[in-house]
Structure 1
């Protein structure tokens, strides 16, 4: 192991964490560009990377901001439309009529509903939709941000109709039986982690006293999602989160309405009267449309997904800086940036910005009878909120691109290999942490699996561990890394209007992430002993 190169590679990450978590923390829009600049200096002068290749990766990183920032903008815009039109208040009154118990509201919206959204879309959509709904019910924004980040972990392994599994591991030449084994073991690890993750998440919003009084409902709500999730994962890796969340949402609402496992808390008030059915239907219709459109556009068998991601050349143009292309599905691609192998693309119709967010907004404006002034206010607030996050995300994505530069000698792979060298055949105890590291860097469980799947497979073969088990730990780790992922923290903070709290949030979310990692390690040891 090249100790010097590994320490040099790790230094920017250590510095970033320190800058964002120290007493007088730097905001992400300052800390992340500084870190990206430092990584660039190290790549240029220490690793002696080619300047042209570095510049191409910087351009690709900045352009890649379009994906998360457009999703964030769409989510904020829909949230502002619901809030300004009054639909959010109607939904809040309706939820109060189901249960005024804070735990019931948090589990229904923050756990089961978000679970289903993650299964349909991914891309940070669950926090973007569920978190503002909880704010509308009177919960504190900062606490909700932490809660939403922690909750959005268990379903992530099968998010966006299983993309982290079937796409994340597609380059590993796994048989269908092996891929299904990875799916099953991933779900089992996450099933056990789910017994503690929602409880730890709830602690950020309500007291231990309230959690204990409603523990039966919490456990029933957890199992209503995770049992079908695990059952489905044994024969399919596309629908565990989507269908598990849908089943769990229905069962959680039924349990709450029947007060099963719930105990009145000191601050509970008598249930309010439910708004008229028509009023509730109109208020929730944008969210129903959002879910329906997400599901219809994500399931390959329906044929619409293929129409939205068609990359066949339609219009193209070569110029000095590279090759620009547009497909019939409006997939914009920029290849051979600065005459290198670096490229970038944006799936205009598939990324959930225009479809479904903007589409649902345009339908909602007349549906909710908004005035021109209200519409202008919603768009103005959206634009105001995304300025600084754009800078933060640009810094993060440029940093990631540069950290991955250098093939087997790239900083990110040097860090990963250092983990493997130190742990040896005890790797199953730590494999999930490498998956989490990938999500921390990239903001995506899919990218984490793409980046580290090959390394995990290689380590498993070197030390004699089950390949499918180590890949399952990678997958579970990539999901738990969502809690501390900088991109996700920036996104949910922006949507909720929280400023300069990214470091504080990381310090809070890393605790449940480590608890998750401990569960994954223990389950991994048990599975390895029975392998």
Structure 2
């Protein structure tokens, strides 16, 4: 029966992967609803799930789509404002004036800049901002999407000011020393993977010849982020990615300006003309403002984060089989949906949709002197891109809810337990893959850690492995899962205007994810031996 339950649990995942990667692949807005429906049927007929609980999770999953879809809409809107106003073109010319070397541009924007953005916000913001900038420089959208997904893995464990660590592991009741141990080992695993993963990401966009010619710059750019990233993780688990990325960005730009480690290529164009300082300031101001707002609103010590997430009740009322409430920080909540424990909430002011995306857009419109017709075009273009992703994301989130329904008897837990029973004390070699599985479903390293850190801790205790190492592998795995996460793939594809390529992207990005997993396993084995 245990085998049958595990097989039935894993079948919808295998079906989804097959539907999206077969020769005549189905787009995600068709494949995901099919898989979600199948999981619902399995829950009802095989796991005897209560119909009200299933229905409540459908409602919760549908409402939950507001979070990613609002972020995607905000990112697209800002991108369209920058493009239509001409600011994106000015930024592109400035980057060309730093270096027209493709490797330099890809590492500065796709690696270091995205690294810093991940540290500030997470929520897919790095790909939302960095990827369109690279496309604006002339790189192919599909190739950029894959590069952005793979590059945005190393910093994820400490994304959104360390949320996957301090919040994702909070249920384990670890003391501060144990959390720092997990953070340090996570940073070490990710830093070792960083020697290979960005290079594999570059291969999606450019040739091995260009990579070899510029390998010194690539390695220096990688180290400029990962060295401070690892060092900071030894004493702080909120700022490794944010400060590491900021330092790496400044160093990478300085190296590119001096052409240190860069080799002229036959396709390397002459350096562009210098952009007037005033024009550059205006063009960059929306992005600078965006980053400043993200940082200010994410650092708890400044006090603004607490104001934006204040759960103190403002008003609430019964809406029939559920309770709707609004907090003083405009956090919308629906509790006890269909009189079940299922609920939903949306942090209106904290989710980076209104603040900073829409706020920055509203400030940028007069700043960039956009006409009414240009503004209307930006909003209309954003609306056109949101229809199909809305279906895909809603289905993905409903499927996630179904897979996690049932506690220790849920499909996702059966899969995890099957893994551990097969591997025994060799679990450390596979631990990161469970973290990746969590991100694949939920689209969040934090949710992966919340879901599986307890299992990882339990397995480590059962088979006699160091708990800190296993939790570090979970955290690193949750980060590497970003590469194949359906939500992230849909988001970056939507932002870049790529249609029906989700399966193709997964087939490509799963290769560096598996390489990442091998590196994590080897580093984890080394940590166990020490």
Q: TM-score, normalised by structure 1?
A: 1.00
Q: Distance in 1 between matches of 2:304 and 2:274?
A: 37
In the other structure, the counterpart of 2:275 is 275
**Structure 2 residue 220 is the aligned partner of structure 1 residue 205:** no
What is the rounded CA distance, in whole Å, between the counterparts of 1:459 and 1:315 in structure 2? 44
SS of the aligned residue for 1:361 comes to: helix
Q: Residues of 1 paired with 2:143 and 2:319: CA distance? A: 49
The yes-or-no answer on 1:116 pairing with 2:116 is yes
Q: Does 1:50 align with 2:50?
A: yes
Answering whether residue 262 of structure 2 is matched by residue 233 of structure 1, we say: no
Kindly report which structure 2 residues correspond to 1:77-226, keeping only aligned pairs within 5 A, or say none: 77-226=77-226
Query: CA–CA distance in 1 between the matches of 2:461 and 2:135?
Result: 48
Hey, what's the Cα distance between the residues in 2 that align with 1:363 and 1:265?
40
1:401 maps to 401
SS at match of 2:266: coil
After superposition, what is the alpha-carbon deviation per residue over 1:272-310, rounded to whole angstroms, capped at 9, x for unaligned?
112100000100000000000000000000000000000
- 1:223-302 aligned at under 5 Å gives the runs 223-302=223-302
Give CA deviations for 1:200-254 in whole Å, capped at 9, x if unaligned: 0000000000000000000000000000000000001000000000000000000
The within-5 A match list for 1:357-368 is 357-368=357-368
Distance in 1 separating the partners of 2:41 and 2:191: 43
Question: What stretches of structure 1 move > 4 A for 4+ residues in a row?
Answer: none
- SS of 1:325's equivalent in the other structure is strand
Give 1:321 shift: 2.3
The RMSD of aligned alpha carbons is: 0.5
Distance 2:7 2:94 in 1: 55
- Deviation of the 1:319 alpha carbon: 2.8
**Distance apart, 1:88 and its partner CA:** 0.4
Q: Over residues 39-60 of structure 1, what are the superposed CA-to-partner deviations in whole Å (9 max), with x where a residue is unaligned?
A: 0000000111000011001100
Classify the secondary structure of the residue corresponding to 1:310.
coil
2:422: which partner in 1? Answer: 422
How far apart are the structure 2 equivalents of 1:274 and 1:170? 50
Q: Which residue of 1 aligns with 2:60?
A: 60
CA shift for structure 1 position 485: 0.2
> 2:389 matched to which residue of 1?
389
Q: Secondary structure of 2:49's partner?
A: coil
Partner Cα separation in structure 1 for residue 130 and residue 27 of structure 2 = 25
CA distance in 2, matches of 1:36, 1:435: 21
> Alignment partner of 1:315: what SS?
strand
Deviation at 1:392, TM superposition (A): 0.0
Which residue is equivalent to 2:372?
Answer: 372
1:8 pairs with 2:8: yes
* Residue 417 of structure 1: how far off its partner (Å): 0.6
Q: SS in structure 1 opposite 2:254?
A: helix
Secondary structure, aligned partner of 1:204? helix
Q: Quote the Cα distance in structure 2 between the aligned partners of 1:236 and 1:272.
A: 40
Structure 1 unaligned residues grouped into runs of 5+: none
Q: Which SS does the other structure have where 2:205 is aligned?
A: coil
Q: Which residue of 2 aligns with 1:74?
A: 74
Q: What runs of 5+ residues in structure 2 fail to find an aligned partner?
A: none
* Deviation per residue, 1:41-88 (Å, 9 max, x gap): 000001110000110011000000000000000000000000000000
- 1:175 and 1:249 map into 2 onto residues whose CA distance is 33
Q: Which residue of 1 aligns with 2:431?
A: 431
Q: How much does 1:265 deviate?
A: 1.0
Secondary structure of the equivalent of 1:273? coil
Matched residue SS, 1:317: strand
The reply on whether 1:26 has 2:16 as its aligned counterpart is no
Match of 1:321 in 2: 321
Equivalent residue, structure 2, for 1:309: 309
Distance of 2:322 and 2:372 partners within structure 1: 42
Aligned to 1:332: 332
Residue 355 of structure 1 corresponds to 355
Q: Secondary structure at the match of 2:345?
A: strand
Distance 1:264 1:132 in 2: 25
2:507 corresponds to 1:507: yes
Where does residue 461 of structure 1 map in the other structure? 461
Q: In 2, distance between residues paired with 1:312 and 1:54?
A: 29
Partner Cα separation in structure 2 for residue 315 and residue 26 of structure 1 = 44
Within 2, Cα distance between the matches of 1:272 and 1:171? 53
Q: Distance in 1 between matches of 2:315 and 2:322?
A: 14
Offset at residue 320 of structure 1 (A): 1.7
Q: Distance in 2 between matches of 1:123 and 1:173?
A: 26
CA distance in structure 2 between the partners assigned to 1:189 and 1:376 by the alignment: 47
CA distance in 2, matches of 1:372, 1:509: 41
Alignment partners' CA distance in 1, 2:237 and 2:2:
38
In 1, the alpha carbon distance for the partners of 2:529 and 2:458 equals 20
Number of residue-to-residue matches in the alignment:
530
Q: Secondary structure at the residue paired with 2:313?
A: coil
